[in-house]
Amino acid sequence: MASDPLIWLNLGNVLGKLQQYVHAIGAYDKTIALGANEPLIWYNRGNALTKLGRYEEAVQSYDRLLKIKPDDSEGWYGRGYALYELERYQDALASYDRSLELQPGKPDTWNNRGNVLEKLLDYSQAISSYEQGLSIQSNKYEAWDNRGYTLARLGRYQEAISSLERLLQIKPDHANAYYNRAYCYGAMGNIKSALKNLQRAIELNSAYREAAKTDPDLARIREHQAFKQLVGEMPKLVGIS
């Protein structure tokens, strides 16, 4: 076993599936040390590093893969994801664009590309990217969520709410959709609906209680008594009807 790189590669793959990513990387490194240089080794190693949040090393691993196999769309995709997490948005966009040149039918890539464009404040292009992905996979709820939030950033609140409603038809317990609807309704001056949606978001995920306290998107409703009750800044007296 010690001198057979294929066995080490297979071991790394098994360890990766078991979410033992540190040990998986060790197995891939042993495979490489034994002289193996297959694209799959570098790809799987990059994925394991990404799972551990070791994004710089992941990019280096994907780069080694792409040096061997420059037309590997999944390698460009993984590289784009790691670069996004490193906040290297222009580089991430270039990686996703290259991945889409090679594999234009992958909705996850369109969605992630939209997320990059949103970070770059190119909201119109971000929406186009989400919509392209949704034209391929219309039930991808994350894309409806991202599209809704980005429409809201453009002040297109009613369209944003419609997008979030499409999401909730697919995944009715998605807390972030209610949170983003709270943002939209608050921006439109519909305080009651904003508070009801925020309440539902907190019921589904209590982390939103803390997030809401400082989120600038909720500035329009922050001074209302019911808001302060929801986030625990004052005793809760009555429910929101």
pLDDT tens track for 37-77: 999 999 999 999 999 999 999 999 999 999 999 999 999 99
Instruction: Tell me the mean pLDDT in the region 159-167.
Output: 98
Stated pTM of the model: 0.90
Task: Please give the pLDDT value at position 69.
Answer: 97
How far apart, in whole angstroms, are the C-alpha atoms of residue 81 and residue 9? 23
Task: Please give the pLDDT value at position 173.
Answer: 97
pLDDT tens, 128-147?
999 999 999 999 999 999 99
Task: Please give the pLDDT value at position 3.
Answer: 83
- 96-105, long-range: CB < 8 A, 24+ apart: 99/73, 99/74, 100/73, 102/71, 102/72, 102/73, 102/76, 103/73, 103/74, 103/77, 105/136
Q: By mean pLDDT, which of 9-23, 50-64, 82-96 is the weakest?
A: 9-23
How far apart, in whole angstroms, are the C-alpha atoms of residue 78 and residue 6? 23
Integer angstrom CA distances of residue 211 from 61, 141, 208: 35, 22, 5
pLDDT at 1 over 90: no
Residue type present at position 119: K
Task: Please give the pLDDT value at position 38.
Answer: 92
Q: Model confidence at 235, in pLDDT bands (50, 70, 90)?
A: low
Is the separation of the CB atoms in 32 and 63 below 8 Å? no
How far apart, in whole angstroms, are the C-alpha atoms of residue 153 and residue 122? 10
Task: Please give the pLDDT value at position 121.
Answer: 98
Residue type present at position 96: Y
How far apart, in whole angstroms, are the C-alpha atoms of residue 162 and residue 194? 15
pLDDT tens, 194-222?
999 999 999 999 999 999 999 999 999 98
pLDDT at 177 over 70: yes
